[in-house]
Amino acid sequence: MIYEIQSKSDISIGATLVVKIPEEELDKNALYTIVVDKPDFILPFRHRIIDGEVEFVYQIGMNSKLQYLSGRRAPQEYAQMWASVLNPLLDCDDWYMNPFSFVLSLEHLYYDKNAKAVNYVYIPSKKAVADYDALKSMAVEISKQITVADANLENKILWSIVSEFNPKDFLQLLKPYESPGGAAAVMHEPIHHHHEPVAQPSIPSAPPPPTAPPPMAPPPMAPPQSMPQQPAAGGYAVQSPSPAHGLPGDIVINIPAKEKGKKEKPPKKQFGGEKKNEPKPEPQPKPQKQKGGLLGGKKKDAQAQIIMGAAATPLMPAPPPIMHPPEGMQGNMPPMMYDPHMESDATQILDSNPADAIGLRLISNLNLPQRISVQAGIGRPFSIGRFDTRIGAKQSDFEFPNGTKAVSRRHAVIERTQDGYFIVDLGSSAGTYVNNIKIIPNSLHPLAAGDRVSFGNAGADYVWET
């Protein structure tokens, strides 16, 4: 990013972004078409020239950051979201715009929940502010934070992004899912194809005349005891299905039984154990193998190793025993663990869950969750909302029960930065209050220990604790 983007907020105009570029770098053709036509896929802005620089002030308004709306979505909504992300980059030539003058960063993608579309920050500059790597990185981040309730589709999406990401081909992959009928057809296509029966001969309504042979009569079968114990030609035989043999048209493989009298070979040991009643062979050197353990390092004694993902991890020792306090002192004491490295018989008090120390504690008399444990990391906001039975899936990190008054389905997020914790209202219908003051939507508001936080105006009141 060659230009700095500054975030500002004002009680009169709300949250804004400010970008300044040199006047000689201004793309006047793109600026003119944007001002006249006002494309609906970019944030609205105003501009002015000050001391040889062009200042752009973008109005965020009721648009929320797309990264705040993470969670699982239905296939149709998921496909429409991706279309609103990528179509502007493919169609921007109509406005003399450069696709790499869009700010291609998940942090600066905004979602208009009324129009259900994504809005970009576009800088009308002759110099590009992004490149293909930024585009692919943005797509990867979106796929991590916003998932789809269809494992087959999600696998296709991930493969398309990590292999060779092409926006046009990517949208073509999602095209069948954009409409409800098309999405359902694609989702059920594998199941329909799997259960599609083969063509069966129709059953005649009346028996044929006795003089004529019955149609499609099967050849006479020999008695079972005279049948050879081998499959039909090719090793396969199509049989009439039964409850134990699957669906109509399935192919059943008849495996020939082993002849009597032949001694079967004993199965090989899966993990190379010793065979019973046999002397243990002496270990032979293997010059073709690399020296060491699973990853080429030295093996320590006889300790086994387990591969987790791409790394080898030594087996963990058994956990130390829990020391219970003497009778009469059970109280609310935290668990005490024995540490063999500590001197004498001293015990060490461990914190059961340090993350619980950061969060919101209920201070109202309503029958609501007593505590909201906030686990927000830098670049990973913690979302708060209300469970919606129409969606049927969790969409926020913490959700109030369905029917909680004045709490929106996507209400607010708590974000952690280098400067501390901040709360952001996501344009909720009833608003978010800190110390009884309604905060500006889609703008960072700092949190300090003891702050009173209210979600809506119907009693969902909490106090911030760190």
Q: What is the pLDDT of residue 164?
A: 87
Containing 56, the helix (H) or strand (E) segment is strand 53-59
Q: Which of 152, 179, 206 is the last residue of a domain?
A: 179
Confidence bin at 393 (pLDDT 50/70/90): confident
**Strand, helix or coil at 73?**
strand
Q: How far is 273 from 263, CA to CA, in rounded Å?
A: 22
Residue 330 placed within a domain:
no
Mean pLDDT, rounded, for 12-31 = 94
Q: What is the pLDDT of residue 127?
A: 94
pLDDT digits (tens, 9 = 90+) for 302-336: 443 333 333 334 444 444 444 444 444 444 444 43
Higher pLDDT among residues 206 and 15, named by residue:
15
Whole-number average pLDDT of the chain: 75
- Residues with Cβ < 8 Å from 172, sequence gap 6 or more? none
Share of the chain above pLDDT 70, in %: 62
Residue 213 placed within a domain:
no
Q: What is the pLDDT of residue 275?
A: 45
Domain of 46?
Answer: 5-179
Q: Which of 110, 144, 179 is the last residue of a domain?
A: 179
Residue 24 placed within a domain:
yes
Q: What is the pLDDT of residue 316?
A: 46
Residue 264 placed within a domain:
no
Residue 225 placed within a domain:
no
Q: How far is 47 from 18, CA to CA, in rounded Å?
A: 10
Residue 218 placed within a domain:
no
Q: What is the pLDDT of residue 292?
A: 38
Containing 154, the helix (H) or strand (E) segment is helix 151-164
Q: Which of 179, 207, 236 is the last residue of a domain?
A: 179
Q: How far is 398 from 407, CA to CA, in rounded Å?
A: 12
Q: What is the pLDDT of residue 161?
A: 94
CATH of the domain at 407: 2.60.200.20
Q: Confirm if 390 and 380 have CB atoms less than 8 A apart.
A: no
pLDDT digits (tens, 9 = 90+) for 156-186: 999 999 988 999 999 999 999 988 765 544 4
Q: Which two tokens stand for residue 194?
A: 């799997």
Q: What is the pLDDT of residue 130?
A: 96
Higher pLDDT among residues 365 and 285, named by residue:
365
- Residues with Cβ < 8 Å from 137, sequence gap 6 or more? 104
Residue 273 placed within a domain:
no
CATH of the domain at 142: 1.10.510.10
User: For strand 398-400 and strand 382-386, is the pairing parallel, antiparallel, or unpaired?
Assistant: parallel
Q: Is the pTM of this model over 0.85?
A: no
Residue 391 placed within a domain:
yes
Tally of domains within the chain? 2
pLDDT digits (tens, 9 = 90+) for 93-135: 999 999 999 999 999 999 998 888 999 999 999 999 999 999 9
